[in-house]
Amino acid sequence: MNIGFITAAADRRLLDERRGTRAMMWIMAIMLFLTALAAALGLATLAATTLLDRQLVGRLTVQIVEPSAPARTAQTAAALAALRRAPGVRNAVEVDRDRLATLLRPWLGADGADPDLPIPAMIDVDLASGSAAAVAAVSAAVTRAAPSARVDRHESWMSPVSSFMRLVTWLTAGLVALIAGATAAVVILAARASLETHRETIEVMHMLGSTDMQIARLFQRRIALDTLLGGALGTVLAVVVTAAMGARLAALGSDLLDGLSLGQRDWAVLAMLPFAFALLATVAARYAVLGALRKIL
């Protein structure tokens, strides 16, 4: 009797494969489909959160809110000069008037381009560090040079979005853990039911001198195989659905939703799920079978 994971054909025949309709495989397909979908969403929100954080940390917008155009121009120049002198500022660029008019067009229409409209001047600032101390130092330098300046951290604008994304990531991680737990429970129940189905064969094997481990390996091999096959089917379906959803998101052209995409490493994680669940099922089946056999002499 082979003692490895891959058992000999003769050993595989010991458990009547016709008994039961391999329902386990289909249950595992559904489990892995749900797990892979939850994992894909979690990985996508994790990627989006990471991207958002990377884009927002150390990014500032300085607004010069001054109704008088000459004063606004003077304060903008002073603020730019102060920013370029300040340590820790990687880049400071004024947003040109045409770009501002374009941004305002959805709200003001063509009037946004009116040169007499007192639109605040804006400066995009990139800091080397996004720490609160660095931001405070730059803000102080700017407001000294330009009293009408207001400093907005992009991070504070987008932090609710980022927090929500993190929440979704944790939620999906919880879902994956829950499904993994449910899968282990299903495997344990299936293993016990299978033990009952094959009770006579097991009794005979015990009388012939089979060890508990030899019997457990027969069951865990079968359950692992069902999990692997069903899991592969469920994961492939989930990958197809995820790819289709990704294509739909990409078509929306949203900068924010564009971050919800999966990288090569994420796809690899999804591909590993059936193997991880097969391992989980193997351990759960072994635990269940050995536990049940210990009650028999």
Partner 1 sequence: MANIVQFENVGLRYGTGAETLSDVSFTLSSGAFYFLTGTSGAGKTSLLKLLYLAQRPTRGGIRLFGEDAVTLPRARLPGFRRRIGVVFQDFRLVPHLSAYDNIALPLRVSGVAESDIDAPVREMLAWVGLDQRIDAKPPTLSGGEQQRVAIARAVIGRPEILVADEPTGNVDPDMAERLLHLFDSLNRLGTTVVVATHDFHLLGRIPDAHMMRLDKGRLLDPTGSLRFPPPGEAA
Enumerate binding residues for partner 1 (CB under 8 A): 1, 3, 8, 10-11, 13-14, 16, 18, 200-201, 203-211, 214, 294, 297
Nearer to partner 1, 205 or 271 (CB): 205
Nearest-approach distance from CB 295 to partner 1, in angstroms: 11
Nearest-approach distance from CB 171 to partner 1, in angstroms: 46
Nearest-approach distance from CB 201 to partner 1, in angstroms: 5
- Cβ 126 vs Cβ 59: under 8 Å: yes
Angle, helices 69-85 vs 132-145, to 10°: value is 140
* C-alpha–C-alpha distance, residues 3 and 250, integer Å: 50
Nearer to partner 1, 8 or 240 (CB): 8
Nearest-approach distance from CB 23 to partner 1, in angstroms: 19
Nearer to partner 1, 20 or 130 (CB): 20
> Edge-to-edge strand order for the sheet containing 149-153?
89-95, 121-127, 59-64, 149-153
Nearest-approach distance from CB 293 to partner 1, in angstroms: 10
Nearest-approach distance from CB 221 to partner 1, in angstroms: 15
Triad 290, 295, 296: Cα angle to 5°? 95
Nearer to partner 1, 143 or 201 (CB): 201
Nearer to partner 1, 136 or 204 (CB): 204
Triad 69, 74, 75: Cα angle to 5°? 100
Nearer to partner 1, 156 or 211 (CB): 211
How big is the chain by its Cα radius of gyration, in Å?
31
Nearest-approach distance from CB 266 to partner 1, in angstroms: 44
* C-alpha–C-alpha distance, residues 193 and 51, integer Å: 48
* C-alpha–C-alpha distance, residues 90 and 126, integer Å: 5
- Cβ 60 vs Cβ 258: under 8 Å: no
Say whether 132 sits in a helix, a strand or coil. helix
Query: Which uninterrupted H or E stretch holds 54?
Result: helix 23-56
Nearer to partner 1, 265 or 294 (CB): 294
* C-alpha–C-alpha distance, residues 8 and 202, integer Å: 18
* C-alpha–C-alpha distance, residues 27 and 190, integer Å: 11
Torsion of CA 239, 243, 270, 277, to 10 degrees: -20
Nearest-approach distance from CB 288 to partner 1, in angstroms: 18
Backbone dihedral angles phi then psi of residue 117, each to the nearest 5 degrees: -70, 125
- Cβ 192 vs Cβ 292: under 8 Å: yes
Nearer to partner 1, 127 or 218 (CB): 218
